[in-house]
Amino acid sequence: MPPAQKVAREFMRAAAGFRNTVKIISGSRTYAEQDALYAIGRTIQTNKSPVTKAKGGQSNHNFGLAWDVGIFEAAGRYMDGSKKGDEKAYADLAGLVKPVVANLEWGGDWTSFVDPPHYQLATGSKATAQVRALFESGQPMF
């Protein structure tokens, strides 16, 4: 099993103990899909804020290492950050899973683009360019 899949499964097991329903809403993306996301808030849907800082080939979603979660209220509403309490739910979830899942990195801990729904296999000291080169050449990334 690829390391990211193992960590994602451990993540979901830990998240099952959260007070709200947690679902993985986005996993691996092609470079083209990443470019389309990058365009949001820049060249398309310019009324919105950018949703990613990464172009195709610059995101760990492109290498099968990352997943985004959605948290849902009991009544089914997707907690998308539009209501008070949404942000706290994502922080509380991280507080629950981080201590019990090894090799997990949370986008909420980032400083250049805080991304609370984002989790990924910790890539350690490897720069994205290094991970990309390994991915594109078919070599093990870890």
State the residues that interact with Zn ion by CB under 5 A. Answer: 68, 118
CB within 8 Å of 131: residues ≥ 6 apart: 60, 63, 65, 123, 141
Inter-helix orientation angle 86-97/3-15, to 10°: 110
Cβ 74 to Zn ion shortest distance, Å: 25
- Are the C-beta atoms of residues 122 and 105 closer than 8 Å to each other? yes
Task: Name which of 95, 42, 36 is nearest 61 in CA terms.
Answer: 36
The one-letter amino acid code at 34 reads: Q
Hey, CA dihedral for 45, 50, 56, 61, is it positive or negative?
Answer: negative
Closest residue to bound Zn ion by CB: 118
- Are the C-beta atoms of residues 77 and 61 closer than 8 Å to each other? no
